[in-house]
Amino acid sequence: MQITKSKTAFDEAKKVIPGGVDSPVRAFKSVGGTPLFIEKGEGAYIYDIDGNRYVDFVQSWGPLIHGHCDEDIQDAVIDAVKKGLSFGAPTTVETELAKEICEMFDSIEKIRFVSSGTEAVMSAIRLARGYTNKDDIVKFEGCYHGHSDSLLVQAGSGAATFGTPSSPGVPADFTKHTLLAKYNDIQSVKKCFENSQDIACVIIEPIAGNMGLVPAEEEFLEELRELCDKNGALLIFDEVMSGFRAHLKGAQGLIKTKPDIVTFGKVIGGGMPVGAFGARKDIMDKLSPDGPVYQAGTLSGNPVAMNAGLASLAKLKKNPTIYDKLEMLAKRLTDGLKEAAKQNDIPLQTCVRGSMFGFFFNDKEVKNFDDALKSDTKMFAKFHSKMLENGVYLACSQFETGFICTKMDEKLIDDVVKTAEKVFKEIS
């Protein structure tokens, strides 16, 4: 496989863009090699600028549940573009999309649109603080909530200690209000509540997708709900990834626990930059202009992006069995990978939630970030690069989630499994 054009393009990009990329994971640092520069997509496939074709399990990191160049979404975008790109004034399509989502989620009576997941979560946190008049927040090791200052606190520090920033440029003063807890470990959350009477909210990915795929246990979420209620804190579900991916209603379609605030991104924009956060009326009414909590955006609710999101969600809603099919394909893939790995004595843990799938090169089940970190990342890097050489584009890190799209079928999955069988033999 030739990737000379991608290599040249990467060298050129590095001269004028830090690391050659506009988002760090794209640089392939954790697996080595050259990131591919993409020319175009088509259904389940992407093509690089050297003309190689790949089955795409990244799908722009989640948004493209209908695959590339879906005609209905393209038509919706083109129609909108012809009427103008942006007005900075209300359009009816915002209300339409808002209605769709409020109808879908019991936990949401009002919603506001922004332009990214980062912005959605950052605003949700401000709203929770404004609503409760408290400053501290609890987040979990290994959960990613975008790159805003107070959320750039990760693993490393023990549970229930005040977080230290994980990036230079974030003052420790900004993260001293962020308490860290351990995923699926309710004791660690109890400790946070013992250490602070000032907790505004607990934020969690109810199906974690940013440490690999690690779902929260139902009982754990129930206990979180109780702890929040008992202490007057809000529970935020970050469904930027799991929303419309794990199920039409995200994690909330699969579990009983109800959050106070929900954040969205990725699929909600159908491939365009959209984020959103929603909650009950009494919480959302604290937002400016009705309430005192300020939040704004020049391109928020952009009509082109709203039309893409609406078209994407309409297709999902019209076809409720779609998630069964996506989950069946995801299971077929992970079962195939697991069997192929086993035949070569490679331990592999797999997990599926709707169209989301994950696999760890790990001999134990992964329930939290510490477990995930014990995975064999060298083995992952070898697997990733060989699969890529054989036309399969997987996320370039052991700690990411893979995605199935509606343009995939059993034949495509079986071919990928065959490729994996060959690759496992080579790397074992």
Ligand X SMILES: *Cc1c(COP(=O)(O)O)cnc(C)c1O
Binding region for ligand X (CB under 6 A): 116-118, 121, 144-146, 205, 209-210, 238, 240-241, 265, 275
Rounded-to-integer distance, Cα 62 and Cα 102, Å: 22
Closest residue to ligand X, Cβ-based? 117
Q: Using the minimum distance from each CB to ligand X, give the nearer residue, 167 or 197.
A: 167
Minimum CB separation of residue 117 from ligand X in Å reads 2
Q: How far is the CB of 290 from ligand X (least distance, A)?
A: 26
How far, rounded to the nearest angstrom, does the alpha carbon of residue 183 sit from its chain's CA centroid? 16
Considering the complex, state which of residue 59 and residue 116 has its C-beta at the smaller distance from ligand X. 116
The nearer residue to ligand X, 118 or 362, going by C-beta atoms, is 118
Q: Report yes or no: 159 and 117 within 8 Å, Cβ to Cβ.
A: no
Active centre residues (catalytic): 144, 238, 266
Question: β-strands 178-181, 136-140: how paired?
Answer: parallel
Closest CA to 128 of 8, 7, 282, 276: 282
Nearer to ligand X, 121 or 340 (CB): 121
Q: How far is the CB of 356 from ligand X (least distance, A)?
A: 11
Give whichever of 145 and 182 is closer to ligand X, judged by the CB atom.
145
357 membership: H or E segment, kind and range: strand 356-360
Closest to ligand X by CB, 19 vs 347, is 19
What Cα–Cα distance (Å) separates residue 414 from each residue in 8, 52, 207, 336, 347?
A: 34, 20, 26, 8, 21
Check residue 163 and report its DSSP letter: P
Q: State how beta strands 136-140 and 349-353 pair.
A: unpaired
- Residue 155 gets which letter from DSSP? S
Q: How far apart are CA 39 and CA 352, in angstroms?
A: 30
User: Could you give the dihedral angle defined by the CA atoms of residues 18, 23, 26 and 30, in that order, rounded to the nearest 10 degrees?
Assistant: 80
Closest contact distance (angstroms) between CB of 419 and ligand X is 27
Nearest distance in Å: CB 94, ligand X:
19
CB of 411 to ligand X, least distance (A): 30
Q: Which amino acid is residue 349, in one-letter code?
A: Q
The vertex-242 CA angle with 241 and 245, nearest 5°, equals 105
Contacts of 373 (CB under 8 A, 6+ apart): 155
Return the exposure string of 194-213: e unless at least 16 CB atoms fall within 10 Å of the residue's CB, then b: eebeebbbbbbbbbbbbbbb
Minimum CB distance to ligand X smaller for 116 or for 178: 116
The first and second tokens of residue 173, run together, are 């003063």
Q: How far is the CB of 207 from ligand X (least distance, A)?
A: 9
Give CA–CA dist 268/104, Å, rounded: 13
Question: Which one-letter DSSP state was computed for residue 43?
Answer: B
DSSP assignment string, 228-292: HHHHT-EEEEE-TTTBTTTBTTGGGGT-----SEEEE-GGGGBTBS-EEEEE-HHHHTTBTTTSS
Quick one: 241 or 337, whose CB is closer to ligand X? 241
Q: How far is the CB of 358 from ligand X (least distance, A)?
A: 13
